[in-house]
Amino acid sequence: MNKGQATPTIEADGGGHPSVTLEAGGSCWKMALEAVGVGIWDWHVAENTMRLEGWRDLLGYGEAAGAGEALADWESLVHPEDLAGCQTTLRRHLQDEAPLYKHEYRLRAGDGSYKWFLAQGKALRGAPEAPPLHIAGTLVDITGRKEVERALEAQQSHYRAVVETVVDGILVIDAGGVIQSMNPAAERIFGYASEELVGRSINLLMPEPYRGSHDQNIRRYLETGEAHVIGYGREVVGLRKNGATFPISLAVSEMRIDGNAYFTGIVRDITTRKRSEEALLIAASVYRTMGEAVIVTDADNTIITVNEPFTELTGYELHELIGENPKILASGRQDKAFYEKMWHDLKTQGRWQGEIWNRRKNGQEYLEFLSISVIYDDNGDTLRHVAVFSEIEQRLAS
């Protein structure tokens, strides 16, 4: 046996029973253990005693009192939450249910804190079928590793919380277009449960012509680096489980894990936005082409915009009116009570209409028929005032 190598030997103890001891050839063995931060332990099963080497330095006790020879003394250092697991794992090894004893647990250090250790050991027997005499093994401080694991777990928990609660759909696919994961928002958007899609092609969520070109686009990107979607946001069409197509906003990014390419897609259902845009286009078209004058103000009654018939009727250009109050048109013929009644109706009924005298930019007064409506936001607060009017003489003449 090489000098400096520890070997178990079987000999008779004081009572004539076989005993196992660990012999170390010289001080090199002990110095090597101290250098790598490893302790040696040896549990004498029959006597229920524990022999330890190097544990004082590992736990920071120095020469101060710590664990005694009795196993119960050593167990007193084990964290109460970890003791049952230690005993169960040890019992499984003693009953030959596990080839080695291997368990991670916490031990109380000299300063009262707890450190994490990895204990590994193996039963030593006097004969193959004999009951174990000793269990000997090593004790390694893994506190640093556990701190890293806890930090990673906290980071992953934070990531999962974000991914699971974000309103946008998130899907991860591999280089072959196979779905690796998806968040609850993606399930809601496409109408699938994750177990229905994970492991299947992302093409299931695409109608033609996107379905036919997707795999080719990925291959071209991996071969040439030429990106059409990756790294960019674009609007495409998605396919729900029920067969309905709908507009989506899609942004794709690439990540590399162990040299393998994966792609993360951020998906947002923009159906409502598209409908709103269409409604606005229709409203704008009506606004531009209608023959009556239109003026739009914000909740504070500040002018936002007017249409062309308004400028023709009043003589004011748009740039002269933005930021102004409609009072700029007041003729002075209506008294305070008239306007109080108008605002009372707007606040209580959301609309007002009637005849009113106003003044053009050139000072000429004219009589108009005015209709004002209030537009509310989602909270029921005033968002806009829309006023539509026409000159009464022109209306009668037509």
Residues 99 and 198 in one domain: no
pLDDT at 20: 43
Residues 350 and 393 in one domain: yes
Residues 227 and 299 in one domain: no
pLDDT at 208: 83
Residues 121 and 179 in one domain: no
pLDDT at 10: 39
In a domain, 16, yes or no: yes
In the block, residue with structure tokens 């549990």: 43
Q: Where are the alpha helices (DSSP H) in 37-104?
A: 55-59, 71-75, 80-94
How many CB atoms are closer than 10 A to CB 69? 13
Residues 320 and 361 in one domain: yes
- Beta-strand pair 7-12/260-269: unpaired
Query: In this structure, what CATH number is given to the domain that contains residue 215?
Result: 3.30.450.20
Residues 91 and 216 in one domain: no
In a domain, 386, yes or no: yes
In a domain, 278, yes or no: no
In a domain, 190, yes or no: yes
Residues 171 and 220 in one domain: yes
How many CB atoms are closer than 10 A to CB 205? 27
Counted residue by residue, the chain has a size of 398
Residues 174 and 238 in one domain: yes
In a domain, 283, yes or no: no
**DSSP, residue by residue, 205-237:** G--TTHHHHHHHHHHHHHHH---SSBTSEEEEE
pLDDT at 235: 87
Residues 265 and 297 in one domain: no
Among 120, 147, 174, residue at a domain's last position: 147
Domain that holds residue 318: 290-397
Residues 262 and 143 in one domain: no
In a domain, 281, yes or no: no
How many CB atoms are closer than 10 A to CB 316? 19
Residues 107 and 37 in one domain: yes
Cα 12 from chain centroid? 63
Among 118, 147, 176, residue at a domain's last position: 147
Q: How many helices (H) and strands (E) does the chain have?
A: 13, 17
In a domain, 188, yes or no: yes
Per the structure, how many domains does the chain have? 3
In a domain, 355, yes or no: yes
Residues 204 and 256 in one domain: yes
Full pLDDT tens readout for the chain, 398 residues: 344 344 444 344 444 444 444 444 445 656 666 666 688 888 888 888 877 777 777 787 765 555 556 677 778 889 999 999 988 998 888 888 888 899 999 999 888 899 999 999 998 877 777 788 888 888 888 888 888 888 888 887 777 777 677 889 999 999 888 999 999 999 999 999 999 999 999 999 998 877 777 777 777 777 776 666 666 678 889 999 999 999 999 888 888 888 888 999 899 999 888 887 777 676 677 666 678 899 999 999 999 988 889 999 999 999 999 999 999 999 999 999 999 999 999 999 999 999 999 999 999 999 999 999 998 887 888 988 999 999 986 544 44
Is the model's pTM score more than 0.75? no
What residues contact 48, with CB distance under 8 A and at least 6 apart? 70, 71, 72
